[in-house]
Amino acid sequence: MIITWIGHSCFKIQNKTGPDGITVVTDPFDKKIGLKPPSFEADIVTVSHGHDDHNNIKALRGKPFIITSAGEYDTKGVSIQGIESFHDEKGGKERGLNIIYRIEVDDISIAHLGDIGHILDNKQLDVLAGTDILLIPVGGKYTIDAKKAAEIVSQIEPRIVIPMHYKVPGLKIDIDGVDKFIKEIGLKPTEEEKLKITKKDLPQEDMELVVFKL
């Protein structure tokens, strides 16, 4: 599997490259946020909620299978489960619903938390049990902040943590950078341009923190 961070909450997840490979894209964003939107071909797209910085499906090429709501999906050899959550700490009263996605590719389980705004409840944790790779927002203001992100990491206990939705050069959204989360979680990060990994490569004992370079 190859995971590439496009920016913000958008990732490209490929089971392999080439004509037979499947490409899953999460939360494609609009150019108005200041970053270059994804413009490649996708087979599956997941959207956590309807804000412009997460639902720019039209930027992608091809005719992808689009998932925007909770439920169980099995398409093109990829299993995806969407779980309802909230974009804030007040039951969605401020920013509405948010969909968490558990994505199974190449026998690896990836959880994408979207713009979650709260600590997970037991029902959500049950679905996310055994997550291998956690994609988690850490920038605060519109999502959980660094401290709450670290709490959720402790709840899920994934093998690899990848932060997202934080301040990077060019981003016009006023949120925190990744440094606060790195300090809060207390792990030395590994920097990657993309993550190539198989099931047998996953860390077996200590959790790993991977920070992508854009």
Give the whole-angstrom CA distance, residue 210 versus residue 214: 13
Give the whole-angstrom CA distance, residue 158 versus residue 64: 28
Sign of CA dihedral 121, 6, 33, 175: positive
Say whether pLDDT at 83 is over 70: yes
Q: Give the tens place of pLDDT for each residue, 119-164.
A: 999 999 999 999 999 999 999 988 999 999 999 999 999 999 999 9
Of residues 163 and 76, more confidently modeled = 163
Q: Give the tens place of pLDDT for each residue, 89-106.
A: 666 656 668 999 999 999
Note down the domain range covering 142. Answer: 2-212
How many C-beta atoms surround the C-beta of residue 126 within 10 A?
A: 10
Q: 133: domain CATH number?
A: 3.60.15.10
Give the whole-angstrom CA distance, residue 117 versus residue 49: 12
pLDDT of residue 51: 64
* Token digits of residue 5: 């961070």
Q: Kindly report the backbone phi and psi dihedral angles of residue 59, in degrees, each rounded to the nearest multiple of 5, phi listed first.
A: -70, -20
Say whether pLDDT at 55 is over 90: no
Q: Give the tens place of pLDDT for each residue, 10-25.
A: 999 999 765 678 999 9
Q: Rg of the chain's alpha carbons, rounded to an integer? A: 16
pLDDT of residue 125: 95
Q: Report the residue count for the chain.
A: 214
**For the chain, how many structural domains are there in total?**
1
* Token digits of residue 211: 């920070």
- For 197, counting Cβ atoms within 10 Å of its Cβ (0-12 exposed, 13-18 middle, 19+ buried), the class is buried
pLDDT of residue 161: 98
pLDDT of residue 18: 57
Say whether pLDDT at 56 is over 90: no
pLDDT of residue 21: 86
* Token digits of residue 193: 């341009």
Cα 34–10–96 angle (5° rounding)?
90
The set of residues, in sequence order, having a beta carbon less than 8 Å from that of 58 and lying 6+ positions away, is: none
Of residues 86 and 45, more confidently modeled = 45
